[in-house]
Amino acid sequence: MAPSSESDLTIYISGMIHSLRRRQLAHGFSQASVENFEPLINVHIKILLSKLKKFAKTGEVFDLKSTISYFVFDILGEVAFSRPFNAQARGEADEIHAINDHLLLSCVIGELPFQTLSKFLARWSPAPWMRKLGQSRNNLKATCSECVSNKISNASDRRDLLQSLVTAKDVETGTSLNEQEINSEAFAMLVAGSHSTSGTLTLLFWHLIHNPEMYATVATEVASTLQPLQDGDISYPIKGLEASLPYTMACVRENFRLNPVFTMPLWRCVGSPGGAKIGEFDVPCGTNVCISNYVLHHNPEIWGEDHAVFQPDRWLGKDEPDRSRFLIPFSIGHRMCIGRNLAMTNILKTITTLTSQFDFHPISQDDHVRDWTT
């Protein structure tokens, strides 16, 4: 199977193309580059804190899911496109609805043969809902194209992820990305960068809020381990957070395990001339294979019969086996999601800052995450 002309770094099957693209983009997504974005991230954390303090003062009931979505989307606009989406200030973002439409369209088309033809037919479908999904996708593509065109035609000293795409070169060959390739990667950043992080944060808070003793343990660990925020500090610096907060990281990992928000199959091609032995199956060379991270994360042979329970302690006990190699929310190996550093920065800065300043309470303890069968 060959990648389509619109493939981005998340879905390339070709190892050579994927390796080339990763070399071109690696610097822009490195931890050092992400740490340079912290002042920009703090701008939007400050806005988030202001909104939450207002809710705390008035006792107003609010939708944490939407609040987090707008917050993450604003950060993405800032660090990826140097574009103020202002979703937090407006309390809305049409682009987020369009992203949800695009994801639904992708699920529908992904189950159909003849991908290119299916996309074309979706645009002219007699079903209004299908045409709406297609229009949403086109609107997102237009937004990305506008950002790319502006970046190419208006040189700026400000570094963002889009600038990294424009200036990206393969360290081995000096090859740059053309405008179509930049548009494809920008589109992937817009969709994957907002949906996955906001969904993960929302689910993490859901589990902690519905387990108050766990929430309190996270807050206590943050308060006892990290230096208190001083006047003028907005959030905790990302450097060292992952290594210094074992219980908080256990909650983050358990949330990744229980509710991976990106479950799209990432295909790999068996490259060994002799094929591969996968379980009881002999897989010939050239076969495309994939694994569902959700299925792996809920395998009772690995996680036990309580695999459907949010249990951070499974990552902490001295007698617990090391299961980290079975946790793949960002995929694994050289195919690991290139945006991991930015995602983890957003997640850790948000969870530490908010748990240190607020207690959240659900409207009802009776609500639950719905299970879906596919």
For 18-65, write each residue's pLDDT tens digit: 677 777 777 778 899 899 999 999 999 999 999 999 999 999 999 999
| Sequence-ordered strand ranges (E) for the chain | 268-269, 276-278, 281-283, 288-289
Confidence of residue 369 (pLDDT cuts 50, 70, 90): low
Per-residue pLDDT for 2 more than 50? no
C-alpha R_g of the chain? 21
Burial track 120-132 (b if 16+ CB lie within 10 A, e otherwise): eebeeeeeeebee
Residue 21: name the closest of 178, 156, 149 by CA: 178
**Around 322, how many Cα atoms within 13 Å sit in the side-chain half-sphere?**
2
46 φ, ψ to 5°? -60, -40
285 is in an annotated binding site: no
Give the confidence band of 372 by pLDDT, cuts at 50, 70, 90: low
Q: What is the pLDDT of residue 61?
A: 92
Single pTM value for the model: 0.87
The answer to which of 109-123, 162-176, 345-359 has the lowest mean pLDDT is: 109-123
Q: Are 87 and 73 in contact (CB under 8 A)?
A: yes
SS3 category, 329: strand
The rounded mean pLDDT for the chain is 86
d(CA 69, CA 248): 21
Range with lowest mean pLDDT among 117-126, 143-152, 232-241? 117-126
Look at residue 155 and tell me whether its pLDDT is greater than 80. Answer: no
